[in-house]
């Protein structure tokens, strides 16, 4: 059950990072706030890799494994798109509602995992995915917005969930493709490669399209550095969990992030909770308990 511990730590770190990025979006825009997690997260990922090498005294995995690169590229590109869509959704809806839309991803992860990685899940885990997903759907069905604005925010959130699902599959596929005997080294190495690819790609994009945003990012280096650290920390534990179990299990348990988001929404952003939130949270808890019970 070590994967469950890794997932909960990752979800907590990611919730904190999402809240930080949400605040940065007003100053940096969607692309700039997206870039923060990659640019400032990469140095911390390198430190994690150095610490792993020192602790395990193992050599780095080979960079010549050809099948590794398509998988990690899929994960990296999907995550860039997913992060941008997520931040756009958070600008349209409340923090917790946007997070709820995105957390409809476990069903998509289960399907993608079966198709691309042959990751099979049992009937108990499948039931847990359905129950937990029902909880986040109920939480997202709020009457705060209407018409085209509500539809737009819904599509942004669901699109982000789909891209995060593809990203999870890409990263698990990359870790497995390395065929490395130590899962910690395989996960940490994959994290460094993916964050490096993302940091380079978005830096080039912004330099060509809007260099002013790059200057703003470095002017706001203090909050950006903290957001980058939390992003790298969360990703480190996501990757460790992906190295141990099917991505569907990880992303289903990850719906606890909605509970963390609910707390931040209430106590930080002062957004009130409703009865619908309580029902949704209850279903999420039931789904998570069922998942842990059936995979134990």
Cα distance between residue 17 and residue 271, in whole Å = 18
What's the pTM value of the predicted model, to 2 decimals? Answer: 0.82
* Domain assignment of residue 132, given as a range: 2-295
Domain count, the chain: 1
CB 180 within 8 A of CB 196: no
- Exposure string of 245-273, with b = 16+ CB inside 10 Å and e = fewer, is bbbbbbbbbbbbbbbbbbebbeeeeebee
Per-residue pLDDT 10s for the chain (296 aa) are: 799 999 999 988 887 887 787 778 878 887 888 888 899 999 999 999 999 999 999 999 988 889 999 999 999 999 889 878 877 776 665 555 666 667 667 777 888 888 888 888 788 888 888 888 788 777 666 555 444 555 666 678 778 888 988 999 999 999 999 999 999 999 999 999 999 999 999 999 999 988 999 999 988 888 889 989 999 999 999 999 999 998 888 888 887 777 776 776 666 656 666 777 778 778 877 887 787 777 65
């Amino acid at each position: 059950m070590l994967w469950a511990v890794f997932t909960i730590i990752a979800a907590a770190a990611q919730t904190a990072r999402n809240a930080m990025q949400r605040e940065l979006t007003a100053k940096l825009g969607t692309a700039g706030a997206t870039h923060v997690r990659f640019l400032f997260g990469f140095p911390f990922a390198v430190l994690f890799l150095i610490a792993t090498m020192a602790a395990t005294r193992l050599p780095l995995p080979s960079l010549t494994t050809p099948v590794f690169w398509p998988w990690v590229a899929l994960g990296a590109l999907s995550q860039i798109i997913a992060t941008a869509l997520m931040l756009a959704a958070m600008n349209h809806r409340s923090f917790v509602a946007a997070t709820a839309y995105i957390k409809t991803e476990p069903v998509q992860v289960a399907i993608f995992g079966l198709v691309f990685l042959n990751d099979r899940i049992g009937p108990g885990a499948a039931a847990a995915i359905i129950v937990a997903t029902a909880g986040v759907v109920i939480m997202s069905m709020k009457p705060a917005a209407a018409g085209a604005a509500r539809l737009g925010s819904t599509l942004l959130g669901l699109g982000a969930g789909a891209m995060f699902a593809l990203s999870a599959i890409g990263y698990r596929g990359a870790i497995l493709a390395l065929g490395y005997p130590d899962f910690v080294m395989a996960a940490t190495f994959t994290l460094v490669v993916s964050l490096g690819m993302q940091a380079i790609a978005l830096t080039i994009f912004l330099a060509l399209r809007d260099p002013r945003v790059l200057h703003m990012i470095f002017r706001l280096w203090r909050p950006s550095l903290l957001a980058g650290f939390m992003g790298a920390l969360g990703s480190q534990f996501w990757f460790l969990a992906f190295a141990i179990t099917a991505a569907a299990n990880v992303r289903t348990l990850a719906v606890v992030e909605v509970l963390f988001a609910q707390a931040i929404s209430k106590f930080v952003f002062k957004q009130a909770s409703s009865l619908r939130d309580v029902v949704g949270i209850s279903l999420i808890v039931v789904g998570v308990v069922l998942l842990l019970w059936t995979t134990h």
